[in-house]
C-alpha cells in the first residue's frame, strides 16, 4: 500500500498577521487545532510540519517536538523544495498538501480526497481548482514522484513558492479531478481561512461556540449549522480578499 503523508506548510513570518500559526485560539495554538484535526484522518500514515530555518521558526520546531510531531526545517522562500525534502524524510508515496492557514480543515474532506485519488485514474485530486467549499476547506492529493519531478525541472519562482501550482498550469500533462461540495456545504464565499485579523476574530467566535462541546472534533457540518443560526458571523471577515495564484 502507498504511504500517504500530510505535510503542513507553516512559518511564523506573515505580512498580514505575523505569528498567526501560534496565535491562541480559545486556549490552544492555531497550528495545534489543525494538527488535532489531521490526526483524526483515517487515510493518513503520517503528518509532518514543513517549516523554515529562519530563527523565528524555532518556536514552531520546539512546539512540534513537544507534541510528538515530525518537523523538517528547510528554505524559507523555496517552499516547493522544503515540502519535497520534508516528504522525502517521511518516505512518502502520496502527498496531501496542507497549509497552516487552514486550521478548521475537516478530516472528512481529507479522507474523501485521498479515497477519491486512490479510486480513480488521475494525477491530482483537489477542490481548489473550481471552488465550491468555504475558503480554508482545501484538499490536494498527488503523487510524491510528480512533485519531485516538478522540483527538479521547474525554476519559476511562483511555482517554487506555491508547491502544487505547476499541476494546475499544465492540464495537458496532469489529469486533474475536482471535488465539489454537497449542497449543504456549498459556500465558496465563506472564509474559514486564517490570513487576516478579521479571520482571527471569526475563528475565535466559531471555536467559542463549538470547542467547549466538541474540542477539535467538529467539521464543516457543525460550522455551517452555527452559521445558519447566526448568519451575522459571516460578515466578520466576508470582505477580506483571498489571494489567487491559479
Rounded Cα distance between 185 and 131, Å, is 12
Residue range 186-206: average pLDDT? 96
- The pLDDT tens digits for 57-104 are 999 999 999 999 999 999 999 999 999 999 999 999 999 999 999 999
Q: Residue 232 domain-assigned?
A: yes
Tally of structural domains, the chain: 1
**Cα–Cα–Cα angle for 229, 233, 237, rounded to 5 degrees:** 150
In the prediction, which pLDDT does 22 show? Answer: 96
Residue 243 forms part of a structural domain: no
161: in domain: yes
Quickly tell me which residue has 473550481 as its cell. Answer: 130
Q: Which residues of 185-211 are buried (b: 16+ CB within 10 A; e: fewer)?
A: bebeebbbbbbbebbbebbbbbbebbb
The 10s digit of each residue's pLDDT in 96-149 is: 999 999 999 999 999 999 999 999 999 999 999 999 999 999 999 999 999 999
Domain boundaries, position 174:
4-236
Helix ranges (H only) for the chain are 30-38, 58-66, 79-89, 107-118, 144-153, 157-162, 165-169, 197-214, 220-229
**pLDDT reported for residue 243:** 61
pLDDT of residue 245: 53
Look at residue 242 and tell me if it is in a domain. no
Residue 215 in any domain: the answer is yes
Amino acid 143: pLDDT: 98
Query: In a 3-state reduction of DSSP, which class is residue 232?
Result: helix
Q: How confident is the model at residue 244 (pLDDT cuts 50, 70, 90)?
A: low
pTM: 0.94
Residue 91 in domain: yes
CATH number, position 10:
3.90.550.10
Which residue has better confidence, 22 or 243? 22
Per DSSP, the three-state class of 36 is: helix
Amino acid at each position: 500500500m502507498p504511504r500517504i503523508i500530510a505535510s503542513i506548510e507553516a512559518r511564523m513570518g506573515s505580512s498580514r498577521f505575523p505569528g498567526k500559526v501560534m496565535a491562541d485560539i480559545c486556549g490552544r495554538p492555531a497550528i495545534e487545532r489543525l494538527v488535532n484535526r489531521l490526526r483524526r484522518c483515517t487515510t493518513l500514515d503520517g503528518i509532518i510540519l514543513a517549516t523554515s530555518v529562519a530563527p523565528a521558526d524555532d518556536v514552531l520546531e520546539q512546539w512540534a517536538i513537544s507534541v510528538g510531531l515530525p518537523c523538517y526545517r528547510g528554505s524559507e522562500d523555496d517552499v516547493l523544495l522544503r515540502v519535497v525534502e520534508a516528504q522525502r524524510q517521511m518516505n512518502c508515496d502520496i502527498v496531501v498538501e496542507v497549509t497552516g492557514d487552514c486550521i478548521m480543515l475537516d478530516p472528512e474532506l481529507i479522507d474523501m480526497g485521498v479515497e477519491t485519488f486512490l479510486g480513480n485514474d488521475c494525477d491530482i485530486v483537489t477542490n481548489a481548482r473550481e471552488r465550491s467549499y468555504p475558503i480554508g476547506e482545501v484538499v490536494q492529493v498527488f503523487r510524491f514522484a510528480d512533485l519531485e519531478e516538478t522540483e527538479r525541472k521547474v525554476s519559476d519562482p511562483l511555482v517554487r513558492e506555491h508547491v502544487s501550482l505547476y499541476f494546475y498550469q499544465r492540464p495537458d500533462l496532469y489529469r486533474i479531478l475536482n471535488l465539489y461540495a454537497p449542497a449543504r456545504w456549498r459556500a465558496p464565499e465563506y472564509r474559514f481561512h486564517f490570513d487576516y485579523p478579521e479571520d482571527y476574530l471569526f475563528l475565535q467566535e466559531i471555536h467559542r461556540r463549538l470547542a467547549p462541546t466538541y474540542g477539535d472534533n467538529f467539521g464543516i457540518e457543525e460550522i455551517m449549522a452555527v452559521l445558519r443560526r447566526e448568519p451575522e458571523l459571516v460578515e466578520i471577515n466576508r470582505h477580506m480578499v483571498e489571494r489567487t495564484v491559479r
